[in-house]
Chain A
Amino acid sequence: MGWVRASLPRRWLVWGLFAAVLLVAPRVWTSGFAHTMLSQMGIAIIACLAYNVLFGQGGMLSFGHAVYSGLGAFLAMHTLNAVSAGKLGLPVSLVPLVGGLAGLGFAALLGYVTTRKAGTPFAMITLGIGELVWSMSLMLPEFFGGEGGITGNRVVGKSVLGVSFGPQVQMYYLIALYCFVCTAALFAFTRTPLGRMLNAVRDNPERVEFIGYSTQHVRYLAFMVSGFFAGIAGGLGALNFEIVTAEVVGAGRSGAYLLFVFLGGATFFFGPIIGAVLMVIALVLLSELTKAWLLYLGLVFLFMVMYAPGGVASLIMMNLRVAAFGKLRTLWTAYLALAATALIALAGAAMMIEMVYHQQLNTALGPTLRFLGATLDARSADSWFGAALILVTGLALFELVRRRFVEQWGEVQGQIEREIERGKSP
Chain B
Amino acid sequence: MSAPSDVPLAVELRDLRKNFGKTEIIRGTSLAVASGERVAIIGPNGAGKSTLFNLISGRLAPSSGEVHLNGRRVDGLKPYEISRLGLARSFQVSNLFTRLSVFENIRCAVLWSLGYRYTFWKFLADLDDANARTDEVLAMIKLDRRRDVLAMNLTYAEQRALEVGITIAGGASVILLDEPTAGMTQSETRRFVALIRDVTAGKTLLTVEHDMGVVFGLADKIAVLVYGEVIAFDTPEAVRANPRVQQAYLGSVLADAQATQAGH
Complex-state Cα separation, A377 to B142, whole angstroms? 72
Asked if A212 is at the interface (CB within 8 A of a chain B CB), the reply is yes
Could you mark each residue 140-176 of chain B with 1 if its beta carbon is under 8 Å from any beta carbon of chain A, else 0? 0000000000000000000000000010011000000
- Contact among B88, B95, B99, B116 with A199 in the assembled complex (CB-CB below 8 Å): B99
On chain B, the residues within 8 Å of A202 by CB distance are 99
Q: Which residue in chain A gives the minimum CB-CB distance to B108?
A: A200
On chain B, the residues within 8 Å of A211 by CB distance are 80, 83, 88, 108-109, 112, 166, 169-170
Which of B78, B83, B97 gathers most chain A CB within 10 Å? B97
Could you mark each residue 1-28 of chain A with 1 if its beta carbon is under 8 Å from any beta carbon of chain B, else 0? 1001000000000000000000000000
Complex-state Cα separation, A193 to B113, whole angstroms? 12
Query: Which of the 9-residue segments B5-13, B122-130, B249-257 touches chain A?
Result: B122-130
Asked if A196 is at the interface (CB within 8 A of a chain B CB), the reply is yes
- Contact among B57, B84, B111 with A193 in the assembled complex (CB-CB below 8 Å): B111
Q: Which residue in chain B gives the minimum CB-CB distance to A188?
A: B123
Q: Which residue in chain B gives the minimum CB-CB distance to A4?
A: B125
On chain A, the residues within 8 Å of B120 by CB distance are 189, 192-195, 221, 225
Asked if B79 is at the interface (CB within 8 A of a chain A CB), the reply is yes
Interface of A is mostly: helix
- Contact among B98, B108, B118, B166 with A217 in the assembled complex (CB-CB below 8 Å): B118
Give residues 370-417 of A contacting B (CB, 8 Å).
none
Q: Which residue in chain B gives the minimum CB-CB distance to A211?
A: B109
Asked if B96 is at the interface (CB within 8 A of a chain A CB), the reply is yes
Give residues 73-95 of B contacting A (CB, 8 Å).
78-80, 83-84, 88-89, 91, 95
Give residues 193-214 of A contacting B (CB, 8 Å).
193-197, 199-200, 202-204, 206-214
Q: Which residue in chain B gives the minimum CB-CB distance to A225?
A: B120
Asked if B119 is at the interface (CB within 8 A of a chain A CB), the reply is yes
Asked if A218 is at the interface (CB within 8 A of a chain B CB), the reply is yes
Asked if A329 is at the interface (CB within 8 A of a chain B CB), the reply is no
On chain B, the residues within 8 Å of A158 by CB distance are none
Do residues A192 and B123 form an inter-chain contact, with CB atoms below 8 A?
yes
Could you mark each residue 214-252 of chain A with 1 if its beta carbon is under 8 Å from any beta carbon of chain B, else 0? 100110010001000000000000000000000000000
Q: State the A residues within 8 Å of B (CB).
A: 1, 4, 188-189, 191-197, 199-200, 202-204, 206-214, 217-218, 221, 225
Q: State the B residues within 8 Å of A (CB).
A: 57, 59, 78-80, 83-84, 88-89, 91, 95-100, 104, 107-109, 111-113, 116-125, 127, 131, 166, 169-170
